[in-house]
């Protein structure tokens, strides 16, 4: 029986995307990924966040693994196992550099002992957990089969036998100036025990035993190595067995366990990341994904990157609920500046991307269309180095998006064509909408041009809401409503102290 991956089932791995694509910066995905992998930087997991899936089956497979890991006790047991495998991998590399034979063989035995114990402990954790995911159940079967194999049983038996033999080794060292002699222990007084007995009455608290971090130089130098060599000559059979053990089992580590340990930290790190948000008003859920229905229905969605940042400041995050049904394809978002429009678009883009990784998404509930690709075009500063005007840069990027987009893609446009005249911006927006209509794809479009709402029968008008009592106060809610421009105009007027009340006060003076 073979076990190839906890991330990709038995299927072929998707191609890793370049991390410099616009979507990672535009949607703040780069920040989310960097902060997530920072918790587990010793594992090679960053690449997995750049491998979005396009398969409902594997996405469900991953979601079920995350559901099993919601059991806090099991979550910690899985993480402990992964850390043990990492420790063993480090030991393996260090052992290869040790030059003293007896010391090297001793640490090899210790590594084998830790390996056997880790596998046994994890099998018990899997057995006692209430598992439902096919990923963990397959690994449980694989581990159980492996531990019952003749090869592993031979390793376990040899480890226990050698540890027993080494426990019987006792010797003493006689030191005379710069020379020493090593001989077998012959029932002389054990002064260590005598000292412990004498000073026992001064003992106050229990001494905690700390695990020693393995290092190739731990407790060894040329003198120690020579003592070990002499002890080996006193107990030739035991040390011969130790040498034979290292030769017999030199390839004992099953690589599948390291692959599992590394890949499972993809889930562990994400769970740890979202646990830092820890807000009673925010929820994560497993989206219902479909490659057929293009209906979108999200309840209390939010920007996960913003929520993570504000969690440390103890600030609340505004959530938004929205939907697309039947023939609706395009959300056109307008309204006052600083009203939450860009945050809304990022939140939707993040949700679509995280769902393609098979992860839980920032929303109380979510029903999503499984898009094949996500394309973004957010307003950027004009770059002198490109020798292109801002408008030309917009046109080049939009053209490139439509060259790659398919009917299953998601396009997120944020304030494009803002550098040209209103008449030209309307003309270019019409041409862009024609492309969107033809491909029948999903689109989120933030724009200052209200006419975009009427350029297609597939559009839905949404605006950034404001407080009806205080026009300058943003609620950061994005609601379904036809854009009338009044809220935006009133907001601008209030900003420059030109609304009716402000003008009246100035006239009265």
Alpha carbon distance, N-terminus to C-terminus of the chain? 88
Cα→Cα distances 169→135, 189, 456, Å = 45, 17, 86
Task: Indicate if the pLDDT at residue 254 is higher than 70.
Answer: yes
Q: Who has greater pLDDT, 188 or 115?
A: 115
Residue indicated by tokens 């991953």: 62
Q: What is the pLDDT of residue 472?
A: 56
Average pLDDT (74-86) is 97
- Residue 37 burial (CB count, 10 A): 21
Reduced to 3 states, what is the DSSP secondary structure of residue 87?
Answer: helix
- Banded pLDDT at 457 (limits 50, 70, 90): very high
pLDDT at 84: 96
State the sign of the Cα–Cα–Cα–Cα dihedral 321, 402, 377, 462.
negative
Is 472 in contact with 498 (CB distance < 8 Å)?
Answer: no
Task: Give residue-wise pLDDT tens across range 209-245.
Answer: 555 454 545 557 777 778 778 877 888 898 899 999 9
Confidence of residue 387 (pLDDT cuts 50, 70, 90): very low
Tokens, residue 121: 């402990």
Q: Which domains does the chain have, with CATH numbers?
A: 53-166+251-264 (no CATH), 281-508 (3.40.50.300)
Cβ neighbours of residue 335 closer than 8 Å, sequence gap 6 or more: 341, 463, 464, 465, 466, 478, 483, 487, 488
Give the rounded percent of residues in the chain with a pLDDT score beyond 90.
58
Strands (E), 379-439: 410-414
Whole-angstrom distance, CA of residue 452 vs CA of residue 413: 12
Tokens of 204: 């106050």
Retrieve residue 12's tokens.
């072929």
Tens digit of each residue's pLDDT (9 = 90 or more) over 345-385: 999 999 999 999 999 999 999 999 999 999 999 876 545 44
Q: What's the CA gap between 422 and 55, in Å, rounded? A: 42
Question: Which runs of consecutive H residues, i.e. helices, occur in 148-301?
Answer: 150-167, 191-199, 222-234, 236-248, 255-275
* Residues 359, 361, 364, 368, CA torsion sign: negative
Band of pLDDT at residue 46, cut at 50, 70 and 90: very high
Q: 344 is written with which tokens? A: 């809304």
Return the higher-pLDDT residue of 479 and 64: 64
Give whichever of 55-69, 172-186, 459-473, 487-501 has the largest mean pLDDT.
55-69
Percent of the chain with pLDDT over 70: 88
Those residues with Cβ within 8 angstroms of residue 435's Cβ, 6 or more apart along the chain or in another chain: 402
- Kindly report the backbone phi and psi dihedral angles of residue 24, in degrees, each rounded to the nearest multiple of 5, phi listed first: -70, -40
φ/ψ (deg, to 5) at 337? -65, 155
What pLDDT score does 208 carry? 56
Cα separation of 76 and 259, whole Å?
18
| Mean per-residue pLDDT over the chain, rounded | 87
Q: Could you report the per-residue pLDDT of 270-304, keeping only the tens digit for each? A: 999 999 998 888 999 999 999 999 999 999 999 99
Count the residues in the chain: 509
| Alpha-carbon gap, residue 475 to 305, rounded angstroms | 19
Full-model pTM: 0.85
Residue 469, Cβ neighbours under 10 Å: how many? Answer: 6
Higher pLDDT: 181 or 192? It is 181
- φ/ψ (deg, to 5) at 21: -60, 150
- pLDDT at residue 96 tops 90: no
From residue 171, alpha-carbon distances to 231, 245, 457, 496 in Å are 7, 22, 90, 90
Q: Tell me: the pLDDT tens digits for 7-36? A: 987 667 888 998 889 999 999 999 999 999
Q: Residue 329: CB partners within 8 Å, gap ≥ 6? A: 294, 436, 440, 441, 442, 443, 456, 458, 459
């Amino acid at each position: 029986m073979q076990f190839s991956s906890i991330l990709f089932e038995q299927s072929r791995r998707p191609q890793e995307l370049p991390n410099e694509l616009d979507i990672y910066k535009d949607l703040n995905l780069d920040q989310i990924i960097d902060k997530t992998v920072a918790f587990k930087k010793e594992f090679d997991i960053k690449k997995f966040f750049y491998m979005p899936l396009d398969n409902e089956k594997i996405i469900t497979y991953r979601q079920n693994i995350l559901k099993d890991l919601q059991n806090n006790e099991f979550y910690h047991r899985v993480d402990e196992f992964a850390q043990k495998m990492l420790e063993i991998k480090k030991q393996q590399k260090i052992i290869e550099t040790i030059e003293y034979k007896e010391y090297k063989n001793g640490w090899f035995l210790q590594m084998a002992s830790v390996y056997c114990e880790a596998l046994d402990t994890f099998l018990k954790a899997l057995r006692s957990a209430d598992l439902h995911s096919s990923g963990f159940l397959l690994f449980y079967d694989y581990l159980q089969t492996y531990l019952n194999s003749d090869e592993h049983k031979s390793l376990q038996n040899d480890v226990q036998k050698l540890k027993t033999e080494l426990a019987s080794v006792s010797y003493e060292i006689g030191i005379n100036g710069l020379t020493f002699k090593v001989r077998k222990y012959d029932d002389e007084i054990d002064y260590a025990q005598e000292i412990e007995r004498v000073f026992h009455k001064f003992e106050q608290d229990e001494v905690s035993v700390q695990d020693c971090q393995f290092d190739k130089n731990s407790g060894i130098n040329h003198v120690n190595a020579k003592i070990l060599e002499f002890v080996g000559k006193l107990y030739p059979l035991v040390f011969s067995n130790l040498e034979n053990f290292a030769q017999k089992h030199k390839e004992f580590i099953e690589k599948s366990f390291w692959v599992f340990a590394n890949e499972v930290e993809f889930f562990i790190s994400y769970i740890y990341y979202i646990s830092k948000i820890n807000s009673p008003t925010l929820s994560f859920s497993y989206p219902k994904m479909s490659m057929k229905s293009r209906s979108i229905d999200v309840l209390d969605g939010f920007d996960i990157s913003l929520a993570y940042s504000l969690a440390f400041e103890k600030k609340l995050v505004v959530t938004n609920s929205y939907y697309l049904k039947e023939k609706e394809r395009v959300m056109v978002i307008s309204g006052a500046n600083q009203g939450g429009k860009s945050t809304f678009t990022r939140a939707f883009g993040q949700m679509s991307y995280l769902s393609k990784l098979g992860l839980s998404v920032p929303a109380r509930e979510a029903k999503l269309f499984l898009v094949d690709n996500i394309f973004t075009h957010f307003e950027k500063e004009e770059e002198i180095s490109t020798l292109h005007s801002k408008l030309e840069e917009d046109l080049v990027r939009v053209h490139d998006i439509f060259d790659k987009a398919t009917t299953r893609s998601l396009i997120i446009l944020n304030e494009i064509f803002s550098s040209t005249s209103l008449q030209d911006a309307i003309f270019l927006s019409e041409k862009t909408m024609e492309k969107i209509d033809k491909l029948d794809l999903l689109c989120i479009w933030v724009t200052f041009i209200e006419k975009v709402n009427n350029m297609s029968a597939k559009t839905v008008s949404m605006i950034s809401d404001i407080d009806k009592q205080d026009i300058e106060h943003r609620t950061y809610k994005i609601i379904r409503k036809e854009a009338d421009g009044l809220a935006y105009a009133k907001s601008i007027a209030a900003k420059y102290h030109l609304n009716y009340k402000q003008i009246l006060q100035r006239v009265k003076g």
